[in-house]
Chains A and B, each alone.
Chain A
């Protein structure tokens, strides 16, 4: 085998220019592939990170409570009991929290926004504390100080609110300012309460524009809710990839315990009102979702990026394959004499085939490996630079203000192998033709 590699290597070196150009093309396409894949998984990571910190657990046990057949409230009524049951049925759990969910209008002296409210227990909400970082005052105030003002722990107090930079700018407020939160209670009354800005956090992708946070008890108070009711029980697993399975297990367990569980509907809770209101039942039903369901209105972005990448890479693969075939053809033609000679000397057909295949694979492997490595390095470099995306539309697509690439070894290895295989496939036909040459015609071939 070693001798084949050696011969192939020599042949490649001999046809230096061709090898270089072809290798360069291969390397750059592989590099592009690795970068696109890293980009896509970077966006996916951003999405998981912000979704699971801001609006969803890995698995959510929410529910709807209907006091008449024609209304509904997104609540779990006996939250303590349900939580115990969930704890009993869920496996490989990291931790479990409960949150309140609300929808409010925030009014300041100079602006107003419509937003979701999350009622959280800041001491228990680990993921939230990990992801949400407070921002320097200068980020949201024109002549603000370059230090963090406010304290995230103040969220434990009543009527304190955490905003994100974009919201603070829109409302024109800073830490310590008063805001009015207006909501509509379950009985259709309008309640409002004055709250104080406890802290302003850095934006966490697109989702942070749609949510503010207060303590669980404050939200409960505005909504006039009893202590036993909560919006959602959020389950965090040790491994997020088990979310689907865990949701099924918990659902079955709860049903066994006598809870009514709604048929799985892969949509965020706020998209279900329309259906739940129309259904003919009263009382409580639980609704289980995974994090993916709660942000399914965003996953199309990933799908779009992946399909565009796929399209681009396929086009390039077609072109590259044609190029490789062409190069191999010419290589075979140039060396027809040589082939004739070695065949006349007694080399078997399949050895000639192996010889050419080795040459193609060697070139393919070396250049794709180089390209993949370069792609990985470039991705890491861009990620480290934290480049700011200028257009709002692009920011929405990326769910972040900055470009984020996530490189994994498996992407690099996978791309290298995939492209080497493609090169191999493209080389089969020319190599086969070379091996089929008759020694006599081959030797006599001129040119």
Chain B
């Protein structure tokens, strides 16, 4: 039979008529299809939204579209960690300049930004050092009153230090060493020491600086992950980058820019941070302190941390705050500690008033962040060959990436100039390397790599333990102080030029493209350039460079597709089953149609058309419902219920969007499923002989 347009029309008429005449079966099969469509629309739209926000977090924060790193690298580049605690060895781009110049000639490449990622511990210094510096200044300016006031402060710290040493004796395997330190502190605590200090400040302050300051504890260490880069070029190329506090590091100067997220999450005063987080949970999640057990425990714990505020207060400020707290709380009794502790015992009713009071009255009196903008950080890092390297660098400000404030990926890394990075990394200049090479040639060692150059310079068997042990001897402490001072000077004053930045090494580099969709093509192009010019680089996409993070997105996608396929497989069986049963019921009808002249092909088409009609109707309804749900989620946001989800969503809420291709994909899938599930029942139907129709009634 030739299919004419009239027979096609008849087929479709029949199909739609049958949708209603067999409504019971169709309702069941249709609802399964509809359900399936909703599932596909929701799954793919959510996943794409997650991927879009994550790719945005990676590409426009640090990743760029492509990443370059050494061709002979031992490990894969993993910008956001590879799951091991060790620093991965991605080799070096020793002649970064050549690579940049060559690639920036290439049409389609917007910028090539040099980079290097590392971690370091930093400290803002030692309280005793700071106190002594001020003391020295007061002495120099000849202000006896101020000297006296400063002396009181220093002696209070000395008392604390003596207590600390007493307690530390309990832990130590060498208590006699601590006893010796303690006797020095006791000497400094004595009345006559301070009387003599007035008479002969120089000797006595030097004693405090060289004998006491080294044993008094440094401020607590801050661990930072940082990215060393050409800051000017970075700021120009990553257009979401913006300074939040402070200023940009001036061109040609060394400096840190701390990520605002790190600043708020790790460096803010603990009480302020707790208050912020409690406020956030109450507002975002609608939790209450009374009902949410975790929040209750959190408030209880917070009230015990009053010290991080009260300890910082000046005596005058402390008295003033005490009065204000008494008034605010309506309490007469208690010292500042007790008052502040009861202030921190917040509940649902008084929380917002106390939050306001804290920021208005308390915050201005304390150091709200452990590192103030403009302060210097002593940064200690292990160089490639395991030596400890110290650098003192100024913190110029904090930054963020516009629109990515909530993303954990964009919020974990701080920035430093490339010169400081190289110093901490342990890179040496080419001249030094040539020099070392010459020396080594003389003594008969052939090859010097960058990493072993340091060994060569300082002697391979330099033992760090020895350095520590000699700490005790008087000479060494003096040397160290002078060394520190010179370090201070040298690093503060070292300026550099653009050439200095360009000539040295980088570990990896971000490539920004004019057109993101040319990514695959540009990957190939870089490989070709490498073939031609032998620059020693390899290029990877941002997804691959993101390390474990990119793999997780792929994993989530695989899981989603597995779920969808299993669901459809089961649905297929169920639909198929229903169809077969429906066909069995219609044997008589089919027989009749066949008896009045319809060919087998007509019957087959009739069945297929019927399911397709059903598929289209339920697919449309399902796609509509799915799109509706995504639209609704897109306006209120899908809340992340765990830390991992916050990470995945690049923020506390995901605002998914639905694209036409999600709906089309879902509809096509559902149509395919419906056709496949009808094939077998339809085949059975074609085998019905006209004669059956007559027998069935009997």
Contact = CB atoms under 8 A, between A and B. Distances in A.
Interface stretch (A144-152, A183-191, A239-247): A183-191
A65 B567 CA distance: 55
Given A229-B171, A318-B35, A18 B581 contact: yes
Contacts of B465: 191-193
Given A209-B83, A263-B301, A186 B168 contact: yes
Interface residues of A, number: 90
Interface stretch (B9-17, B24-32, B189-197, B612-620): B24-32
A385 to B, nearest CB: 19
Contacts, number: 223
Nearest to B567: A315
Contacts of A29: 570
A188 B213 CA distance: 13
Interface residues of B, number: 80
Given A21-B580, A188-B217, A392-B548, A68 B160 contact: yes
Interface string A416-445: 000000000000000000000000000000
Given A304-B644, A393-B548, A393-B555, A112 B567 contact: no
Interface in B50-97: 82-87, 89
Contacts of A229: 170-171
A77 B272 CA distance: 32
B380 to A, nearest CB: 9
Contact of A278 (B83, B175, B305, B388): B305
B118 to A, nearest CB: 12
A325 B382 CA distance: 68
B420 to A, nearest CB: 20
Contacts of B307: 69, 278-280
A224 B167 contact: no
Contacts of A315: 35, 39, 563, 567
A265 B569 CA distance: 46
Interface in A92-106: 105
Interface string A312-323: 100110111011
Interface string B160-200: 10011101101111110000000000000000000000000
Nearest to B310: A280
Interface string A254-293: 0000000001010000000011011110110000000000
Interface in A307-339: 308, 311-312, 315-316, 318-320, 322-323, 325-327, 329-330, 333-334
A112 B464 contact: no
A170 interface: yes
A24 B572 CA distance: 12
Given A393-B548, A393-B554, A113 B85 contact: yes
A115 interface: yes
Contact of B164 (A68, A167, A193): A68
Nearest to A170: B86
A392 B82 contact: yes
A82 interface: no
A214 B550 CA distance: 35
B528 interface: no
A111 B89 contact: yes
B164 A67 contact: yes
Contact of A191 (B167, B384, B468): B468
B555 A312 contact: no
Given A111-B89, A112-B86, A319-B35, A396 B471 contact: no
B20 interface: no
A280 B577 contact: no
Contact of A190 (B83, B168, B464, B548): B464
A195 interface: no
A70 interface: yes
A114 interface: yes
Contact of B580 (A18, A221, A275): A18
A22 B499 CA distance: 75
B577 A18 contact: yes
A77 B167 CA distance: 11
B32 to A, nearest CB: 6
A66 B386 CA distance: 30
A323 B32 CA distance: 9
Interface in B118-176: 160, 163-165, 167-168, 170-175
B429 interface: no
Contacts of B86: 111-115, 167, 170-171
Given A275-B301, A300-B644, A318-B35, A68 B163 contact: yes
Nearest to B552: A393
B532 to A, nearest CB: 32
B84 A209 contact: yes
Contact of A319 (B305, B567, B584): B567
B386 A105 contact: yes
Contacts of A412: none
A330 B585 contact: yes
A188 B388 contact: no
Given A209-B83, A220-B173, A392-B82, A278 B35 contact: no
Interface string A367-407: 00000000000000000000000011111110000000000
Given A18-B580, A71-B220, A330-B25, 4 more contacts: A68-B167, A105-B386, A393-B552, A394-B551
27 contacts: A18-B580, A67-B168, A67-B171, A105-B386, A113-B86, A113-B87, A114-B87, A170-B84, A180-B386, A187-B215, A189-B471, A192-B465, A221-B173, A224-B174, A227-B173, A280-B337, A300-B643, A316-B566, A318-B35, A319-B571, A322-B32, A322-B574, A323-B573, A330-B25, A391-B554, A392-B548, A393-B555
Interface of B: 24-25, 28-29, 31-32, 35, 39, 82-87, 89, 160, 163-165, 167-168, 170-175, 215, 217-218, 220, 270-271, 297, 300-301, 304-308, 311, 337, 382, 384-386, 388, 463-465, 468, 471, 548, 551-552, 554-555, 559, 563, 566-567, 569-571, 573-574, 576-578, 580-582, 584-585, 588, 642-644, 697
